Amino acid sequence: MAPRDNPLNEPQPGLPARAARPSEAELRDAVRILIAGIGDDPAREGLVDTPDRVVRAYGEWFVGYRIDPAEVLRAGRRRVAGSAELVVLRNVPLTSHCDHHIAPILGTVDLAYAPGPYLAEPEDLCRAVDAVARRMQSQETMTVQIARAVEQAIEARGVAVIVAAQHLCMTTRGVQQTGAVTVTTQLLGAFRDDSMARQEVLALLRRR
């Protein structure tokens, strides 16, 4: 991608349109204000380059605003005459940020789908998960978005997604419950409507 004045001021496929964002210089100034607000000197040696690093880091952490996960899957999908009844992908690493404190959410995704006319490449599923994750959101919203992207992009007959994650806003501040894990699920299509299919896929995802 060619360099832009502001790496965060990009189109956001699948998300509501928003007003133009501040310039990169304004973002760096905002970081300096935050540093001063917590009681440190943004001009001291260890912090003088921090605003630039933070802006670039945010461009990486929130790159998902510039990627359509469904398009990632459509680009690599393969039409097949016949395939396995279920495709399961386990332990996909996940890094996101909560929209309450912009604190990291770290966890894993287990995903299963019943193929329709298309199969998704495993690496594309990982890319789609990452694209959804790299936004500010709740874990519940993220889980739904991952499932919907898979269902829509490859026309899967059923999709199941389980996200298990730690929220650093809960482990490093507030109640400070280190080790607490939040688990969210989303079932679509056959896995939502057919009780036997639902039991089968959940048992398979829980198996280790």
Same domain, 86 and 155: yes
Residue of 62, 49, 50, 67 whose CA lies nearest to 6: 62
Same domain, 127 and 85: yes
Distance CA 29, CA 43 (A): 12
Same domain, 165 and 79: yes
Q: What is the dihedral of CA 66, 70, 72, 73, to 10 degrees?
A: 170
Confidence of residue 156 (pLDDT cuts 50, 70, 90): very high
16 domain residue, yes or no:
no
Residue 78 has pLDDT above 50, yes or no: yes
Domain housing 41: 24-61
Same domain, 80 and 176: yes
The total of other beta-carbon atoms located within 10 Å of residue 198's CB is 16
3 domain residue, yes or no:
no
Per the listing, tokens 């990486």 go with 60
35 domain residue, yes or no:
yes
User: How much is the pLDDT for 174?
Assistant: 75
Same domain, 146 and 185: yes
Same domain, 110 and 190: yes
Same domain, 53 and 79: no
Average pLDDT over residues 182-205: 92
What predicted TM-score, i.e. pTM, was given to this entire model?
A: 0.86
Same domain, 51 and 84: no
Total of domains in the chain: 2
Residue 190 has pLDDT above 90, yes or no: yes
Same domain, 39 and 133: no
From 42, 61, 80, give the residue that closes a domain: 61
